[in-house]
Structure 1
Amino acid sequence: MLLITTPTGNTGRHVLEAVLEAGETPRVLVRDPARLTPDVRERSEVVRGDLRDPADLKAALDGIEGAFFCVPQSPDPDDMDGYYRSFTVPFAAAAREAGVRRIVAVSGGDGQPGNRGPGVQLHGLEQTLDASGAATRAIRCGYFMEQFLWMMHGMVYGGAFALPVAGDLPLPFVAARDIGANAGRLLLDRTWTGQETAAAHGPERLSCEQAADIASQVLGFPVRFVSVSAEQYAASLTPHGVSAAMGQSLGDMFAAISAGRDMGAPAERELECPTTLHEWMNTVLRPAVDGLKAGA
């Protein structure tokens, strides 16, 4: 039996899709089962519960051999360390008690000098899961293409998106569906043991100026990139419910990237993530923008 956490999330839903396509009947831990499609509910064993609740975790992990773990995204934690530990520590303890043999996790941090921002908490996640007694595969991700969905209002109504990096700095853009497909393959493979890290980067490294050119082509209207300070970036997030702690953490992350830190690396091997930014914008961003413009 396989367990998938965050089955309605950016990455978890793609993991679930890969496992279902393989003919498996996975167990999913979800706070609101209504967010699952009827087809998924019919083909999965659904456990309603909270990823931070020991009792819910015990029920979800009972009899589980392999699990996919991801800390849910949230814009408003007041304490970044506390937020990540509130999910990781009880999950690792419950996995140890249940005798889970394999854990595949979404990560992005390491113990190398210069690690800042969410990478610090993600490195702690890896260490906590490694200490659970299970074999682990930590997928260290590049810059999620899905972040453009958070910036599409600025593109539509202001013709621009902004980040605290130089316009010509290449970033390893990666699609969540590629990360999820790789996590699903790892989860379905019952042969691996030990602990290993894997980098999830897309097929091309592009600057934000290049990304703006691609967005202009795909969306059919001019989009430009604006480089802002970390303080300006954090201030722009506050009206959207992003906490000061999260804004500071993201600013720290971009500062580390600007100083030469490579997102999702170093890692012991590289995963195949074939989706290009043009393809993702055409299939995901453009429909979302069309819906926004139509008032959906």
Structure 2
Amino acid sequence: MLLITTPTGNTGRAVLQAVLEAGETPRVLVRDPSRLSPETLSRIEVVQGDMHDPRDLERSLNGIEGAFFCVPQSPDPEDLSAYYRSFTEPFARAARTAGLGRLVSISGGDDQEDNRGPGRQLRESEEILNTSGASVRFVRCGYFMEQFLWRMYGVVQSGVFALPIAPSVPIPFVAAQDIGRGAAALLLDRTWTGRDTVAAHGPERLTCNQAAQVASEVLGRPVQFRSITAQQYAASLTPHGVSDAMGQSLGEMFEAISEGRDMGAQAAHELPCPTTLRDWMSTVLKPAVARLRAGASSS
């Protein structure tokens, strides 16, 4: 049996869907099963619980051969290393006790010692998960296209999105759906052993100026990119409940991207991630912007 954590998240949901399409009946560990559709619930085994709780992890991992692991994303941790350890350490202990055979985990960063931003915590998490005794594939991801959803308000109100990066720096934009389906393919492949890294990058590397041009064409209205400082970026996130520590970490991430590191770094293997930014904006961003504008008009 296979276990899927974070089955209601952007990536975990895609993993679950792909595993179901393959005819499997997986187990999920989820805090709120009502966030899954009735049709999905009818085809899976549910353990309702918390990824921090050793007892819930023991129940989830009992009899499991392969697992998908992802640290749930949160905007407000004040100590990022402590936040990531609070998930990875109990999971690694429970996996070792259960004799888990294979583990697919979402990760990031590169193989240098001076990782910055979320890449630092993700590389620390890799070291912890390596103590689980399982064979592991760490999926090191590019820049999630879904991050544009955070910038929707600026696009709707002023036609501008701003990030702390130069407009000419190429970014490996990747869709969470592609990452999830690629991770599911690894999970369903029972032939691999050992520990390795797998890159999950999109089919193209675009600058933010190029991304703004794509957004303009898809949304049918001018969209511009503005480069800002890391301090300005962190301040723009605070009204949305993002902690100072998280804001600083994201600023460091863009510094690493500017140096050709972290997201987009080389890995031993690469997952197929075919969704272009134009396709994603047409199918995800454009409807979301339309809903936001409709809501603003009716209020």
TM beyond 0.5? yes
Deviation, structure 1 residue 282 = 0.3
CA deviation vs aligned residue, 1:170-189 (integer Å, no higher than 9, x gap) = 00000001100100011111
SS of the equivalent of 1:162 reads strand
Q: Is the 8 A contact 2:109 2:261 kept in 1?
A: no
Query: CA deviation digits over 1:262-284, x for unaligned, max 9?
Result: 51422111211100000000011
TM, length-normalised to structure 1: 0.98
Distance 1:15 1:170 in 2: 28
TM-fit CA distance, 1:291: 1.0
SS at match of 1:131: helix
Moved over 3 A (4+): none
Counterpart in the other structure of 1:97: 97
Contact 1:6 1:70 in 2 (8 A): yes
Alignment-derived partner of residue 88 in structure 1: 88
SS of the equivalent of 2:78 reads coil
Please state if 1:213 is matched with 2:213. yes
8 Å Cα contact 1:172/1:263 also seen in 2: yes
Q: Does the CA-based 8 Å contact 2:110-2:261 persist in structure 1?
A: no
Contact 2:197 2:267 (8 Å CA) reproduced: yes
2:108 pairs with 1:108: yes
**Does the CA contact (< 8 Å) of 1:114 and 1:261 recur in 2?**
no
Does 2:34 correspond to 1:39? no
Q: Which amino acid aligns with 2:247?
A: G
Structure 1: unaligned runs, 5 residues or longer: none
- The residue identity in structure 1 corresponding to 2:73 is Q
1:143 aligned residue: 143
C-alpha contact (below 8 Å) 1:166/1:258 kept by paired residues:
yes
By how many angstroms is 1:131 displaced?
1.6
**In structure 2, C-alpha distance between the alignment counterparts of 1:254 and 1:107, rounded to whole Å:** 16
Preserved CA contact (<8 Å) 1:197 1:267? yes
Distance (Å, rounded) in 1 between the aligned partners of 2:158 and 2:10: 26
Work out whether residues 5 and 68 of structure 1, in 8 Å CA contact, stay in contact via their aligned partners in 2: yes
Partner of 1:266: 266
CA contact (8 A) 1:203 1:274 kept: yes
Identical residues among aligned pairs (%): 70
Kindly state the Cα deviation for residue 123 of structure 1 after the two structures are TM-superposed. 0.4
Letter in 1 for 2:115: N
Contact 2:109 2:262 in 1 (8 A): no
Contact residue 108 and residue 264 of structure 1 kept, 8 A:
no
Query: Which residues in structure 2 correspond to 1:188-207 (within 5 Å)?
Result: 188-207=188-207
Provide the secondary structure at the position in 2 that maps to 1:257.
helix
Query: Separation in 1 of the partners of 2:204 and 2:266?
Result: 17
Aligned to 1:178: 178
Consecutive unaligned residues of structure 2, counting only runs of 5 or more, are none
Check whether the contact 1:92–1:132 (CA below 8 A) recurs between aligned residues: yes
RMSD: 1.0
Distance, in Å, in 1 between the alignment partners of 2:140 and 2:256 is 16
TM-score with structure 2 setting the length: 0.97
Instruction: Give the aligned residue type for 1:70.
Output: C
| Residues 44-96 of structure 1: CA deviation (Å, up to 9, x unaligned) | 00110111111110111111000000001100000000000000000011011
Q: How many residues align?
A: 296
Distance in 2 (CA, whole Å) between partners of 1:65 and 1:264 is 30
